[in-house]
Amino acid sequence: MSHKTISLFAPNDHDSAPCQSGGICGSRRKLLQAGLGAAGLLLASPGLAWTRDESFVQLRGTGAGLSKAEELMTLALQHEHGAMVQYANHAGLLSHWVNPTFAKTIQEIIADEVDHAVTLVNVLIASGVTPTLAVWPPRSGVAPRQLVLLDIAAEQGAVDLYSEILEHDLSQPLRARITAIRDAEILHRNIFNDLLEKV
């Protein structure tokens, strides 16, 4: 099995450069297309399961397999897609049921998740992998506390997944970016824990 370091940058690809502003990177058109594609897949396949055994990993054109790090980043991308949908739903429900200010807090978390997804898409493209539009299945509930507990669980899953990615051979820029994403997921989990005390 060949050993390769996965890098954040594709040769001569300006879209792969890291975002210097700390905000959302990538063109709005690409983001909209990816979001519409993810939403279409979600609507077409509501029973998709987010497990490693049933992952919807797209291989490079000729059937070559993915490295473990690429497989994990593909799973992380599925997770980011699902988190955006789940959190948008919960932001609306919680603002209606409990407090309108909850929506703003959760929308800020969603913006981070979009940034994480853009980073993962850029990394996968630079590695020659077609980024997935598969969606980890979002979950919802019938009570405010249940929603927040589901969001805490989603963030813990993300922390675990990014921690596992960091166990693999990554370039220094990519390692720094994945570490920052993992740390942001820890912060999100803490924010949801704070919200749990208010519902």
Distance, in Å, from the CA atom of 65 to the CA atom of 57, rounded to the nearest integer, reads 10
Q: Tell me the β-bridge partners of 67.
A: none
Contact 199, 142 (CB under 8 A): no
Task: Note the pTM of the prediction, 2 decimals.
Answer: 0.71
Q: Are 9 and 17 within 8 A, CB to CB? A: yes
Calculate Rg over the CA atoms of the chain: 17
Q: pLDDT per residue over 178-188, tens digit each?
A: 999 999 999 99
Q: What is the pLDDT of residues 70-122, one digit of tens each?
A: 999 999 999 999 999 999 999 999 999 999 999 999 999 999 999 999 999 99
Q: What is the pLDDT of residue 65?
A: 81
Query: Angle CA(192)–CA(55)–CA(163) in degrees, nearest 5?
Result: 45
Nearest to 143 by CA among 64, 196, 79: 196
Which amino acid is present at 129? V
**Least confident piece of the model among 12-16, 166-170, 190-194:** 12-16
Quote the Cα angle for 83-57-135, to 5°.
20
User: What is the model's pLDDT at position 158?
Assistant: 98
Q: Cα–Cα distance between 6 and 91 in angstroms, integer?
A: 35
pLDDT tens digits along 125-181: 999 999 999 999 999 999 999 999 999 999 999 999 999 999 999 999 999 999 999
Helix spans in the chain (H)? 28-44, 68-97, 101-126, 144-165, 172-196
Which fold, 67-199? Ferritin (1.20.1260)
